Structure 1
Amino acid sequence: MSLTHGRRVLFAVICAVAVATIYVAQPVLTQIGKDLGLPEADLGRIVTAGQLGYPIGLVLLVPLGDMFDRRKLIAVHLLLAAAGTALTAVAGQVWLLLAGLALAGLFAVVVQTTVAFAADLSAAAERGRTLGAVTSGVIIGILGARVLAGSLAALWGWRSIYVTLAGLLLVLACLVLKLLPADPRGERASYGAVLISFGRLFREGLFVSRGLIAFFLFASFGVLWSGLSLPLAAEPWHLSTAQVGLFGIAGLAGALGASRAGLGADTGHSSVITGGALVLLAASWLATGQASWSLWPVVVGVVVLDFAVQAVHVSNQHILTAAYARHTSSVIGGYMLFYSLGSAVGAIGTTAIYSAAGWAGSSLLGAAFALCALAVWAATRRAPQTSPTFGPATDGR
């Protein structure tokens, strides 16, 4: 089956809007806190509420894609995410706000169901191209969320952000039912059996090796994006929050450039692309490590790092969805657990190291994570790219 350009764009937009629900609060935390009387010390609860539901959804909701018609499942999850953002928009008390954010974060995992469905709808020769395009939507959502939030909040207040997202999610749910094909299932496994199968993935060598690469990959990513504002706001630069945010444009350029890595994956070069991109990832820290002395190398380093991260991410998903073709939703959900944990470790690590050793220490940490990912790739690159337990891709499902 060949996925049309229009459907590929729809999948990318779903990913962008859904993932934005987790990130739009970050630039307007102060405004939300003042409106609801939340002390500055407690503002972190707003971010945590949205992110807390996400790993829960990866385990409990994404595997449902291996049981049910994913067209309907995606539509339902979009509607529930819309309910969460709508509740957030009208919340007059902190507990209602947190409940709405948690609900939206829980069902933001529709992103992973969408990625798995897009991969399955693609012909084998186009799967990498599709994954590159669809996961670019995720990057646009993460970085674009900050721009959207800042603009809307400046015009109509922070609540307008969530009203807009709720409306977009409702429209997308309707478009999914109208434009995407049905996803009929044969004999349906029980939910318990699907969760057991999900757990067994963590005993699969191919899955674990790609998951470990993702863990170290996004730990390195987390070191940069959770820590870069620290040296840029310090001497000698003293950049404002808005000026620091401009570095996200460089990251977006790098990540979108890597979307074409999927074309290389379609020609059977996923492993080579992974190794080459990880070398670039490690080398990028030579440039970003100059943040305390020069800014232009930082721009170059940001572009290279985001290019490398996206290239590896696309290649990983291409390999896994091909190897576990009958369990694409579960394998994408499990893979993203490594992603989430790695991002968290990188974010925690960079702030701790920076306080003790400055940005030079953080840069060494980011490079070390990149080299760990490269070591895992080197140790496992000759391993079979199919799964003896779950079976290789044979039918596009």
Structure 2
Amino acid sequence: MTNQTSIHDEQSSTPLPSLKPNNLLVYVMAIACGMAVANLYYAQPLLHTLAEVFGTSIGTTGLIITMTQLGYVLGLVLIVPLGDLLERRRLITIVTAGTAIGLAGAAMSTGIGIFLLSCLAIGLTAVAAQVLVPFAAVLAEEGQRGAVIGRVMSGLLLGILLARTVSGLIADVYGWQAVFWFATFSMLVQTVVLWKMLPVSRGQMRLSYPALIGSIVHLLRDEPLLRRRIVYGTLGFASFSVFWTSLAFLLARPPYSYSDSLIGLFGLLGAAGALSASFAGKLHDKGHTRIGTGLLLSLIMIAFAIMGLFSTHLIAILIGVVLLDVGQQGSHILNQSVIYTLNPEARSRITTAYMTSFFFGGVVGSASAGYVFELAGWTGVSWLGGSFGIIAFLYWLTEFKTKQA
């Protein structure tokens, strides 16, 4: 890397790059995060197609997303804390290769049971992204950590959003199985690139694995800011998952009756959320975290109100997608920018505490969305997603009684 100062590995004199937002390695990590987490979302625009292929109900098919997110939660608990203990480059590349195996299993599935198990494996190993994000925080220059995290998270969020579009387009032309073969090949390529590009860096903790996992409980006990940001993140992602799990069912029916590729294109609208990531990181660096959080959480409520009241109007859905993505993704960046200032020696475990809760919110949102859609239609979905946003905003109002950011 050029024009970079150096920091040192926690346990040796090995020089590590000291990252600024525009360094090449930041872009490599951003792309890698996006490609890793995209695997969680390839199935979303295909849910109605998969329901037909496997002969399952809407509620059962919605469990595809739930199983993927459940696997991700398990990976966050069992794998991500190892970033504070093991050599990070090796950990990241092994887990990425594991994702390729899970994706190949999904591509070869002949029934819903095998597909659900493959989704669990995909989610379990897609947590490589959550080892990369705190790794970027370790390497970032002081005073630019929020901007570096924002840049890396922009790649991650674009991966989430473009996954739906790419999935829909590939499925319409080559079939749903081609989506997962494409993802398998992508993960194999990424494994090689990350092995060559990432610096060698070992976490500084010397605990046993059980003690390492147990120490997460102590972090939750000792860090009130972590607990507060967990609430925002969990409720925000629950809203987000309610919407994206239900959207394919809404758009596949009249008055829309869209194809997989058209449904997938809605992911492009969420690019506004990815673009807001860098902006949110800069808000944190400038000290505007509290007010920025409130404004972004309010967008979640507004989005569901618009989409619930005008569900048969395409323009209302389009506006809602943009507002929801900006609100949820922007607040997520602020949450991460805050928690990574708390304990530099425990960033991977802090990631585990936050992201486990975050994706648990996603599990609740996705698991309930399909059944709520079956029982109460889009109106019920709008009330469900909007309620999560309302609770988060009301909790934000309590910040003015505390000194917490």
TM range (shorter): 0.7 to 0.9
1:292 aligns with 2:308: no
1:131 aligns with 2:178: no
Give the 5 Å matches for 1:167-316.
167-186=185-204, 188-203=206-221, 204-229=223-248, 232=251, 236-316=255-335
Alpha-carbon separation, structure 2, partners of 1:298 and 1:87: 34
Give the 5 Å matches for 1:77-156.
77-89=95-107, 99-156=117-174
CA deviation after TM superposition for structure 1 residue 77, in Å: 1.1
Alpha-carbon separation, structure 2, partners of 1:321 and 1:5: 20
Alpha-carbon separation, structure 1, partners of 2:325 and 2:170: 27
Which position in structure 1 is the counterpart of 2:39? 21
CA deviation after TM superposition for structure 1 residue 76, in Å: 1.5
Query: Using a 3 Å threshold, how does the CA distance of structure 1 residues 113 and 253 change in structure 2: closer, same or farther?
Result: same
Alpha-carbon separation, structure 1, partners of 2:105 and 2:256: 40
Query: Using a 3 Å threshold, how does the CA distance of structure 1 residues 8 and 247 change in structure 2: closer, same or farther?
Result: same
Alpha-carbon separation, structure 2, partners of 1:293 and 1:47: 25
CA deviation after TM superposition for structure 1 residue 112, in Å: 0.8
Comparing 19-28 and 92-101, the one that deviates more: 92-101
Local SS of the residue matching 1:310: helix
Alpha-carbon separation, structure 2, partners of 1:173 and 1:185: 20
CA deviation after TM superposition for structure 1 residue 313, in Å: 0.3
Which position in structure 2 is the counterpart of 1:370? 389
Alpha-carbon separation, structure 1, partners of 2:99 and 2:182: 13
* Equivalent pair of 1:284/1:305 in contact (CA under 8 Å): yes
Deviations 1:282-331 (A, max 9, x none): 23333223333533233222212211111100000000011122111111
Equivalent pairs counted in the alignment come to 384
Query: Using a 3 Å threshold, how does the CA distance of structure 1 residues 289 and 47 change in structure 2: closer, same or farther?
Result: closer
CA deviation after TM superposition for structure 1 residue 165, in Å: 2.3
Query: Using a 3 Å threshold, how does the CA distance of structure 1 residues 304 and 79 change in structure 2: closer, same or farther?
Result: same
Deviations 1:110-167 (A, max 9, x none): 1111111112211232222222222222322223223323333445444443333233
Local SS of the residue matching 2:309: coil
* Equivalent pair of 2:165/2:266 in contact (CA under 8 Å): no
* Equivalent pair of 1:8/1:133 in contact (CA under 8 Å): yes
1:2 aligns with 2:19: yes
* Equivalent pair of 1:258/1:308 in contact (CA under 8 Å): no
Query: Using a 3 Å threshold, how does the CA distance of structure 1 residues 51 and 242 change in structure 2: closer, same or farther?
Result: same
Which position in structure 1 is the counterpart of 2:344? 325
Query: Using a 3 Å threshold, how does the CA distance of structure 1 residues 219 and 30 change in structure 2: closer, same or farther?
Result: closer
CA deviation after TM superposition for structure 1 residue 85, in Å: 2.5
Match for 1:7: what amino acid? L
Deviations 1:166-194 (A, max 9, x none): 33222222222222222134462211211
* Equivalent pair of 2:48/2:252 in contact (CA under 8 Å): no
Gaps of 5+ in 2: 1-17
Which position in structure 1 is the counterpart of 2:357? 338
1:56 aligns with 2:79: no
Query: Using a 3 Å threshold, how does the CA distance of structure 1 residues 151 and 248 change in structure 2: closer, same or farther?
Result: closer
Question: How high is the sequence identity, in percent, across the aligned residues?
Answer: 35
CA deviation after TM superposition for structure 1 residue 101, in Å: 3.8
- RMSD of equivalent CA atoms: 3.0
Local SS of the residue matching 1:50: helix
Deviations 1:26-64 (A, max 9, x none): 4456777888xx443575665555333211111111111
Match for 1:268: what amino acid? G
Give the 5 Å matches for 1:11-50.
11-28=29-46, 38-41=54-57, 47-50=65-68
Which position in structure 1 is the counterpart of 2:5? none
Alpha-carbon separation, structure 2, partners of 1:363 and 1:48: 19
Local SS of the residue matching 2:148: helix
Query: Using a 3 Å threshold, how does the CA distance of structure 1 residues 99 and 282 change in structure 2: closer, same or farther?
Result: closer
Which position in structure 2 is the counterpart of 1:389? none
Query: Using a 3 Å threshold, how does the CA distance of structure 1 residues 189 and 309 change in structure 2: closer, same or farther?
Result: same
* Equivalent pair of 1:221/1:305 in contact (CA under 8 Å): yes
Match for 1:152: what amino acid? I
Alpha-carbon separation, structure 2, partners of 1:200 and 1:323: 13
Local SS of the residue matching 2:70: helix
Gaps of 5+ in 1: 387-397
Query: Using a 3 Å threshold, how does the CA distance of structure 1 residues 31 and 167 change in structure 2: closer, same or farther?
Result: same
Query: Using a 3 Å threshold, how does the CA distance of structure 1 residues 107 and 381 change in structure 2: closer, same or farther?
Result: farther
Comparing 244-253 and 202-211, the one that deviates more: 244-253
